[in-house]
Amino acid sequence: MPFVDTHLHLEELDDPEAAVAEAVAAGVTRMIAMGTDLATSRGAIGFAERLPAVYAAAGHHALNSTDPDLAAFRELLSRPRVVAVGEVGLDGSPDPEYPQLERQLGWFGSMCDLALEAGLPVCVHVRQSEELVYRALKARPGLTGVMHYFALDQGWAERFLALGFHLSFAGLVTRATRGELREVARRCPADRLLLETDSPFGPAFLVDTARVVAELRGTSLEQLAELETRNATALFARLR
């Protein structure tokens, strides 16, 4: 019953090695550690080179204060354990600490262009910036990827699916109060569904989310594991 945790931040965990071992024992046999800047991207690759269950993504996230070093990122993307560009995207949260959306959009665009150049998918963060993210992705035919921590409505789900993107569901879907999101997960095409933890409690908790998604879709946990693994290995071609 092997699952792939398609999005987590290992450096945020108290004991990443123990969390990975616990996840593997629980059936989450592979996971993709994100980077949010050059340092955490290098950190994610370090984990991936030490731990066989871990793969890495390298990216410059919306919440940065400096511009990305594109040459350094280009080099990281050539490493064999790097399976995606991420985490990247836009965050329009009304927080004065966040950079202006125009600046974020410049970074996001250059990260998407690097992904196209490297032939890698993007792991996309979107908050209060759906239209801008949608337009940036639509402007780049051939770009593939996943809308991570999907929490938008069915209309947005359909627009991103129409671009060929996957939807990744996290712990939010386990909450009974999130009826609309649960419906999105139930209706998500079988070949576009992914799962993730985005950390907080460690990758082993992916199984809790998987159990709820399996129930919503009227499928067994085993069948969901097979489907999710197939989707993850299809999208992230460097996963072995």
198 vs 214, beta carbon nearer Zn ion: 198
Contacts of 236 by beta carbon, 8 Å cutoff, 6+ apart: 4, 6, 32, 55, 83, 84, 121
Least distance (Å) between residue 236 CB and Zn ion: 15
Scan residues 209-238 and list those touching Zn ion (CB under 5 A).
none
Cβ(81)–Cβ(47) below 8 Å: no
91 vs 198, beta carbon nearer Zn ion: 198
Instruction: Show the tokens assigned to 31.
Output: 């996971």
Q: Is 197 helix (H, G, I), strand (E, B) or coil?
A: coil
Q: Which stretch binds Zn ion (CB under 5 A): 62-70, 112-120, 190-198, 220-228?
A: 190-198
Scan residues 96-115 and list those touching Zn ion (CB under 5 A).
none
Give the helix ranges, DSSP H, for 90-176.
Answer: 101-118, 130-138, 154-162
Least distance (Å) between residue 9 CB and Zn ion: 6
Question: Is the link from the previous residue into 130 a cis peptide, with omega within 30 of 0?
Answer: no
34 vs 214, beta carbon nearer Zn ion: 34
59 vs 99, beta carbon nearer Zn ion: 59
Q: Which stretch binds Zn ion (CB under 5 A): 37-45, 81-89, 109-117, 170-178?
A: 81-89
Residue in the block written with tokens 């949608």: 134
The DSSP output letter for 62 is S
Q: Which stretch binds Zn ion (CB under 5 A): 89-97, 198-206, 208-216, 222-230?
A: 198-206
Tell the burial category of 25 from Cβ atoms under 10 Å away from its Cβ (0-12, 13-18, 19+).
exposed
**Given the DSSP bridges, would you call strands 145-147 and 82-91 parallel, antiparallel or unpaired?**
unpaired
Whole-angstrom Cα distance, residue 72 to residue 115? 14
5 vs 198, beta carbon nearer Zn ion: 198
Instruction: Show the tokens assigned to 7.
Output: 């999005």
Least distance (Å) between residue 128 CB and Zn ion: 16
Q: For Zn ion, which residue of 24, 58, 76, 87 counts as binding (CB under 5 A)?
A: 87
51 vs 146, beta carbon nearer Zn ion: 146
Least distance (Å) between residue 199 CB and Zn ion: 7
Q: Which stretch binds Zn ion (CB under 5 A): 63-71, 84-92, 105-113, 127-135?
A: 84-92
Cβ(90)–Cβ(120) below 8 Å: no
148 vs 214, beta carbon nearer Zn ion: 148
Least distance (Å) between residue 70 CB and Zn ion: 21
Q: Is 175 helix (H, G, I), strand (E, B) or coil?
A: coil
The DSSP output letter for 191 is T
Q: Which stretch binds Zn ion (CB under 5 A): 22-30, 50-58, 194-202, 213-221?
A: 194-202
Applying CB under 5 A, the residues found at the interface with Zn ion are 87, 198
